[in-house]
Amino acid sequence: MTSGIQSAGAKLRRAIQQESPLQIVGTINAYTAMMAEKVGHKALYLSGAGVANASFGLPDLGMTSLNDVCEDIRRITGASDLPLLVDADTGWGGAFNIARTVKEMTRAGAAGFHIEDQVAQKRCGHRPNKEIVTQDEMVDRVKAAVDARIDDQFLIMARTDALQQQGLEAAIERAQACVEAGADAIFAEAVHTLDQYQAFSDALDVPVLANITEFGATPLFNKQELVDVGVDIVLYPLSAFRAMNKAALNVYNSILENGDQKAVVDDMQTRAELYDFLNYHEFEEKLDNLFKK
């Protein structure tokens, strides 16, 4: 066991206890993780959609592999000490595959993951026509994950996408069954109202996560509104990514249209700011000291 107060999982659990709510921001690469840490965030998220879209130019339809995601986990956890919650989609297969997912993600530095009850050919949780597996199959996924832990603090979060197809009661029942099977937290996906969050938190005695992703099924509730209905963790999976994309598009267009980038320089992070986040000067000083001329 690699458990203990210093493990990534332990750090995530502590952050959930200390913050009310814990806001977790998506960081699609190592550098954005460093920025999020520097401005004071306490935990980070690696989005499955983010890996697919940003690292591979693919839609979020279950096309990336465990290795693809682990590579991005290693990059982020190599650059930031904050605990990283990772999107494990459906876990990449049956019980033994899910076990590998837990072990490999732990070794890559993740603090925990969420595993969902969609079929392997999954969709974004905020799209129509999602299909889910049976409650029994989802419970088996959770059991396989819990059994496979190599750090007993690694956080196993069960995500249910059942609300869309089966309604609130069934979704809550699934969440309860997952907790009984050992899930440490519940990700209630594509929730529409604060009352629905209240119902989840009333029925569960583990932390509940609200996914406040833009342009989806969930209104952009404020963290205080969410705390008031018992939500413990608020997720912003792709907010910075969406903003980065719009900024990049604007720069590409402007260079084409104007023949230079002067019109968009004010939208750019400066070289000095970049170097500050990277601790560039410390590295350079080290180099100068090591290899004095």
Ligand X SMILES: C[C@](O)(C(=O)O)[C@H](CC(=O)O)C(=O)O
Among residues 14, 216, 254, 263, the one that binds ligand X under rule CB under 6 A: 216
Token pair of 58, please?
Answer: 């693919």
Interior angle at CA 13, CA 7 and CA 19, nearest 5: 130
Report the amino acid identity of residue 69. Answer: V
| Closer to ligand X by Cβ: residue 10 or 163 | 163
| Closer to ligand X by Cβ: residue 75 or 126 | 126
DSSP string covering 170-225: HHHHHHHHHHHTT-SEEEETT---HHHHHHHHHH-SS-EEEE--TTSSS----HHH
| Alpha carbons 266 and 191: distance in angstroms, whole number | 38
Cβ atoms within 10 Å, residue 226: 23
Which x/- pattern, by CB under 6 A, does the window 1-40 give for ligand X? ----------------------------------------
137 is in an annotated binding site: no
Among residues 43, 211, 231, 232, the one that binds ligand X under rule CB under 6 A: 211
Of 11-19, 145-153, 211-219, 267-275, which segment contacts ligand X by CB under 6 A? 211-219
| Alpha carbons 61 and 121: distance in angstroms, whole number | 6
Among residues 7, 27, 32, 47, the one that binds ligand X under rule CB under 6 A: 47
Among residues 125, 146, 148, 181, the one that binds ligand X under rule CB under 6 A: 125
| Alpha carbons 170 and 189: distance in angstroms, whole number | 13
159 is in an annotated binding site: yes
Catalytic residue set: 45, 60, 87, 89, 114, 116, 124, 159, 189, 211
Which residue positions form the known binding site for substrate?
A: 47-49, 124-125, 159, 189, 211-213, 242, 271
- Chain residues binding ligand X by CB under 6 A are 47-50, 60, 87, 124-126, 211, 213, 216, 237-238
